[in-house]
Amino acid sequence: MPKTMNIDHHIQLTLIKKLTESEKAVKYNDLKEDGIENSLFSYHLNKLLDRGMVTKTDAGYTLTVDGARWINDNGVTIQPKNAPRVFVALVVQKEDSSYLVGQRTGQFKETINDYMLPSIRYTNDVDLTVQVDQAIETFIPAGCSIEVLDYGFVQIKATYVDNAVMRNLFHLTFCKVKSFDLEADNYQWHTQGQIEEIEHPSATILRQLIAYTQDVSNQHETPTISG
């Protein structure tokens, strides 16, 4: 009988979030927050172990691929999201034709995917153009010369480290920019040759999205239809 993959208590959510943010395994005493009884904490930790979302090693506790995928798909919430994951993504290219590429931090990079384009999660209650502007403001400094081209929505099929296949929906915007200094340590400029050489499965997302913007016939606006 397959294991139940869910989080049904805020202690479980806090626990799995701590593991997500850690670069290495976490000891029991470091994982447990002050003020929570050992028996109560152990009860919820054991639930995640039984569900296959967390595993114990000699070094401490770590996320499994299933645990990482849960929080990657659902975010910091107890209730699972049934809708497809949608991202507002940017393909940012500077004058020398290199691209802005990020790397995940914490245990995500070992369990789900490592390399990523600048992106924010799409939310249904905010106008799409506002979210594109938010993504640009997040990753590109104010005052930077920028040329923006709209590529609308595109579905990308990605393979993850455990060979699982997931379809992601991106609203894609191409940004041609002047060179700027990077503030976030986990973002770097990569040439297309460097991107092609990345062996991590998640690099297929980068390559497909960049290739999509290299075909000018793919440029299109996303229409808004009001009822």
The answer on pLDDT for 66 being more than 90 is: no
What residues does each domain of the chain span?
10-74, 86-218
Terminal Cα distance for the chain, rounded = 45
**Contact between residue 9 and residue 77 where contact means Cβ atoms under 8 Å apart:** no
The answer on pLDDT for 75 being more than 80 is: no
Q: Angle 10-21/65-74 helices, nearest 10 degrees?
A: 110
| Amino acid (1-letter code) at residue 126 | V
What is the predicted pLDDT for the residue at 85? 75
Report the candidate in 209, 198, 202 with the shortest Cα–Cα distance to residue 166. Answer: 202
CA 19 to chain centre: 16
Domain 86-218 fold is Nucleoside Triphosphate Pyrophosphohydrolase (3.90.79)
Q: What is the pLDDT of residues 194-223, one digit of tens each?
A: 999 988 877 888 899 999 999 999 999 888
Query: Is residue 14 classed as helix, strand or coil in its secondary structure?
Result: helix
CATH architecture of 10-74: Orthogonal Bundle (1.10)
What is the predicted pLDDT for the residue at 109? 66
Mean pLDDT of 108-130: 83
